[in-house]
Amino acid sequence: MTSGFAATLVNPSTQHKSCQHEQTQDSKQRPRLVMTLGDPSGIGPEVVLKALSDHRFEQRANITVIGDRAHLQRTYDQINDQIKSAAPHTILRDPATLNFIDIASPKAVTDGLTTGIGNASSGEVGFQTLKAAIAHTLSGKFDGIVTAPIAKSAWLAAGHHYPGQTELLAEMSGTQRFGMLFVAKSPYSQWTMRTLLATTHIPLKAVPTMLSPQVMTLKLELLIECLQRDFGLSHAKIAIAGLNPHSGEQGQLGQEEQDWLIPWIDEQQQRFPHIQLEGPIPPDTMWVQPGQAWHTHQPLPAQSQIAHDGYLALYHDQGLIPVKLLAFDLAVNTTIGLPFVRTSPDHGTAFNIAGQGIARSQSTEAALELAIELATQRLSQEQQTLKTNP
């Protein structure tokens, strides 16, 4: 589909002055984030409006939403009518009170939008929304992006052949080294689980051939850099999963560990003596300690004795099954290696419940919270660098 989209900045009207950001010195130091609506026919618009009903986020960051404003207003009206009777305590943010960039979708595209159905029209709107968000961020307008979920099938129907949003983010920013890190903070112990995937959206049968010392080195370097830069962990403990059951059982259940994974870990430990590497850990026991650290009610320092700061999983389901078992509504996907912060809720478009007012916004709230934390950390580092090297 062709574009024809035009972006327009829309500020809240004067009747909503309390929601506008005053340009004080304090507000200028706060991170500037842009939130996309994802696929407009999915739950993205709903969870964004629910998350932003908590005004405490905007006390810590300058937040702008980007998408098709007219469609968002229609979605708001539809869902607001639903929740008034079904869930009267649920609060939706009025779109009129948002700082908003309207991508002004062509009528030929918006006429094809149907709540709950992903198609070429919804794919085109979602794609153009993300492109605009990236362009604004690369221009320096924003410090980070929080992306609502899209449907890969809808992007494909619109003629956009990307495995997901991550690949478009990397392409437009000229990033060659990037990875998908899943972050979740336990509501019980406040311990943070960080899981990086060595491979992502590929068939399971392709994993052994895609894995190599070169791929693993790239991912490990990204993880170490992220733990140091974004989380202040300069002496991190990192667990690395095995590929085969029992990590190959000394070659009886697979050769990859013996052939290259164990020698590679030994080599990397010598390269990074300040980092504690452990592995290859049998996949069926690698997640026992994270589970204990997640569910315990012991004080946070105690968790550092039983769990690692980062986990390197070798393929998609090996890493994400435990993440979603422990933290389905709390996990956040952050793309590491980009020149800006990017976070996203760890769920899909949920077309089957779109427009009903029942979508949970906890993961979107967690994504926004993490984006604020990471962007604030980076801004602080930049300011410190300027002071050190004026």
Annotated binding site for substrate: 166, 324, 333, 342
d(CA 95, CA 50): 11
Q: CA 95 → CA 7, 108, 360, 371, distances in Å? A: 17, 23, 18, 21
Residue corresponding to tokens 């980092």: 275
Quote the CA–CA distance of 95 and 11 in Å, as a whole number. Answer: 10
Q: Which residues pair with 341 in a beta bridge?
A: 144
User: How many other C-beta atoms are found inside a 10 Å radius of the C-beta of residue 169?
Assistant: 24
Using DSSP's 3-state secondary structure scheme, residue 113 falls into coil
- What are the backbone angles phi and psi of residue 86, rounded to the nearest 5°? -85, -40
Which residues are annotated as part of the binding site? 166, 201, 246, 316, 324, 333, 342
Q: For residues 352 and 167, what is the distance between their CA atoms, to the nearest angstrom?
A: 26
Token pair recorded at residue 136: 């604004």
Burial of 147 (0-12, 13-18, 19+ CB in 10 A): buried
Q: Residues within the annotated binding site for a divalent metal cation?
A: 201, 246, 316
Which of 152, 186, 162, 165 shows the shortest CA–CA distance to 295? 186
CB-count exposure of residue 243 (10 Å: 0-12, 13-18, 19+): buried
What lies within 8 Å, CB to CB, of 344 at 6+ separation is 146, 147, 148, 149, 165, 332, 333, 334, 367
Q: Report residue 294: phi and psi, to 5°.
A: -70, -45
Spatial separation of the C-alpha atoms in residues 194 and 189, rounded to whole Å: 15
Beta bridge partners of 182: 195, 333
Concatenating the DSSP letter of every residue in 196-255 gives EESS-SS-GGGHHHH--HHHHHHHHHHHHHHHHHHH--TT-EEEEE-SSGGGGTTTTS-S
